[in-house]
Structure 1
Amino acid sequence: MNRAVIRDELCRGLLGGLALLALTLPPAGAYRPDAASVSPAAHRTGALRRADFGRVAPGPEARELADWIAASNDNAGAAFAIVDKREATVFVFDAQARHRGSSPALLGSARGDDTVEGIGTRPIALVRPEERTTPAGRFVAERGRNARGEDVVWVDYDAAVSMHRVLTTDPSERRLQRLASPSADDRRISYGCINLPVAFYEAHVRPAFAQPGGVIYVMPESRPIRQVFGSYDVGAAPR
């Protein structure tokens, strides 16, 4: 594969020392714990661990997913982030499922939860509008650097999708203004990458994924979350 091809202007670069991640957690989509992975005693006593959002009020599906991650330990004791595509919002949690920060995000302009095979090797000019999706799923975060030497967090390296500081190289896209918009629709502008405010990236994303093993959950917008993650409603977990 030609690793020099750049997508979303900067979303391609060096990937060093990250093969160890494959040993830390299962590959994206491979680990689907069910109710059996949670202690039966926890079901009996109602002591299931839930995510702590603090004063933040997420949507019901984001809360359900976060609670399931906490109860099932799907994050394998690592920090994690949830990307709510419908709300174009990112939530960052520590290893104990405690909310550390959330922010609006810019996402792929095309609706959908899948990527086209081989899209990460194409020049950006050849990525069609309908192919500019942010893929849904469970991804082991991979830290790396882009073509400008800036650090990014790879979500899906083969598809050239990363989480990074907002790009402002094309003023006509008005990315900073879109980030500030209350409308989630306004925040659909990228080729698939997840653009975040610089201050949020520095304060929350970099620290959360400083160590290998972090997990990024990108919620779907065309399929049920339980179908994508094998999750369940912790409040209605089997006994």
Structure 2
Amino acid sequence: MLQASFGSQHPSSDARKVADWALRSHDNRQAAFIIIDKRAARLYVLDEAGRLRGSTSVLLGAAHGDDTVPGIGQRAISEVRPGERTTPAGRFLAERGHNGRGEDVVWVDYDAGVSIHRVLTSNPGERRLARLASPVLADKRISYGCINVPVAFYETYIRPMFARQPAMVYVLPEVKSVDEVFAMAASPQR
């Protein structure tokens, strides 16, 4: 039976369950993949065999929830209300692209405007670097829904992973159960 190896990391049972399922079902397309555990504000990069390659703390959407507001990706960011700033849960075929500022990002859900990108530090009052380093989970909730990672982690793990092809990103739910979000008997359609 295929099982993911998280090395010295201690992922949640949900993170382990989804990683093992992705490997057993080949849902990961036999390629490297990412697990984002919203409850732990943690991102794991696993290779095609399910071996941990890197892990980091992340910043997530300011609002708790697992669903995206319909049409949110077509709105100006200034029109997104605080309760709508969720990082959606689910299975996503993510790919590299560029945001509105021309920066390279990994689009997790392009239609909803959700990406994995380098941590933004343009607003010092948000203290995003301090929030990334903080052990307090509430500190990790600041974005409009995007997943912010440290710059060095993005350059070392995320950017190279998506340089040639899309890859699966599994965003674990925080309100719903993993079984509600991931149809583990068969690959969900997204």
Say whether 1:172 aligns with 2:125.
yes
What is the identity percentage for the equivalent residue pairs of Structure 1 and Structure 2? 60
Distance 1:158 1:223 in 2: 22
Aligned pairs for 1:187-198 (under 5 A) are 187-198=140-151
Question: What amino acid sits opposite 2:83 in the alignment?
Answer: E
**Does the CA-based 8 Å contact 2:117-2:154 persist in structure 1?**
yes
Distance 1:109 1:231 in 2: 28
**Does the CA-based 8 Å contact 1:79-1:209 persist in structure 2?**
no
The Cα shift of 1:148 comes to 2.9
The Cα shift of 1:137 comes to 0.4
**Does the CA-based 8 Å contact 2:23-2:30 persist in structure 1?**
no
Aligned pairs for 1:71-110 (under 5 A) are 71-110=24-63
**Does the CA-based 8 Å contact 1:78-1:213 persist in structure 2?**
no
**Does the CA-based 8 Å contact 2:96-2:166 persist in structure 1?**
no
Say whether 1:64 aligns with 2:22.
no
The Cα shift of 1:64 comes to 1.4
Partner residue in 2 for 1:130: 83
The Cα shift of 1:186 comes to 0.7
**Does the CA-based 8 Å contact 2:98-2:105 persist in structure 1?**
yes
- The CA deviation string for residues 168-215 of structure 1, in whole angstroms up to 9 with x for no partner, is 111111000000000111100000000000011111111222222300
Distance 1:149 1:118 in 2: 22
Partner residue in 1 for 2:188: none
RMSD over aligned Cα atoms: 1.1
The Cα shift of 1:117 comes to 0.8
2:103 to 150, 157, 161: 150
Question: What amino acid sits opposite 1:139 in the alignment?
Answer: F
The Cα shift of 1:73 comes to 1.2
Distance 1:127 1:206 in 2: 28
Q: Which structure: greater strand fraction?
A: 2
Larger Rg: 1
The Cα shift of 1:147 comes to 2.8
The Cα shift of 1:84 comes to 0.3
Question: What amino acid sits opposite 1:204 in the alignment?
Answer: Y
For structure 2, list consecutive stretches of 5 or more residues without a partner in the other structure.
186-190
- The CA deviation string for residues 69-97 of structure 1, in whole angstroms up to 9 with x for no partner, is 11121111121100000011100111121
User: What count of residue pairs does the alignment treat as equivalent?
Assistant: 185
**Does the CA-based 8 Å contact 1:144-1:153 persist in structure 2?**
yes
- The CA deviation string for residues 84-136 of structure 1, in whole angstroms up to 9 with x for no partner, is 00011100111121110000000000000011111111111110000000000
**Does the CA-based 8 Å contact 1:107-1:194 persist in structure 2?**
yes
Partner residue in 2 for 1:204: 157
TM norm structure 1: 0.75
Distance 2:113 2:52 in 1: 27
Question: What amino acid sits opposite 2:159 in the alignment?
Answer: R
TM norm structure 2: 0.94
For structure 1, list consecutive stretches of 5 or more residues without a partner in the other structure.
1-47, 233-239
Distance 2:161 2:96 in 1: 11
The Cα shift of 1:54 comes to 1.4
- In structure 2, the residue corresponding to 1:158 is in which secondary structure? helix
